[in-house]
Amino acid sequence: MKNLCAKVAALSLVALSGLSAHAVEVGQAAPTFNLPGLLATVDLSNFKGKTVYLDFWASWCGPCKQSFPWMNEMQSRYGSKGLSVVAINVDQKNADARTFLKDTPANFTVAFDATGQTPKTYAIRGMPTSVLIGPDGKVLSVHNGFKDAQREELEKQIKQALHL
Question: Whole-model pTM?
Answer: 0.85
CA 66 – CA 148 distance, rounded (Å): 8
Q: The domain that contains 60 carries what CATH number?
A: 3.40.30.10
Q: How many domains are there within the chain? A: 1
Angle, in degrees to the nearest 10, between helices 151-161 and 62-78: 40
13 within domain boundaries: no
Strand, coil or helix: 43: strand
Domain assignment of residue 65, given as a range: 23-161
Give residue 46's region: left, alpha or beta (phi > 0; psi -120 to 50).
alpha
1 within domain boundaries: no
141 within domain boundaries: yes
- Report the mean per-residue pLDDT for the chain: 88
Q: What is the pLDDT of residue 143?
A: 95
User: Which is nearest to 52 in space by CA: 103, 101, 102, 122?
Assistant: 122
pLDDT tens string 12-58: 333 333 333 346 899 999 999 999 999 899 999 999 999 999 999 99
Q: What is the pLDDT of residue 52?
A: 98
128 within domain boundaries: yes
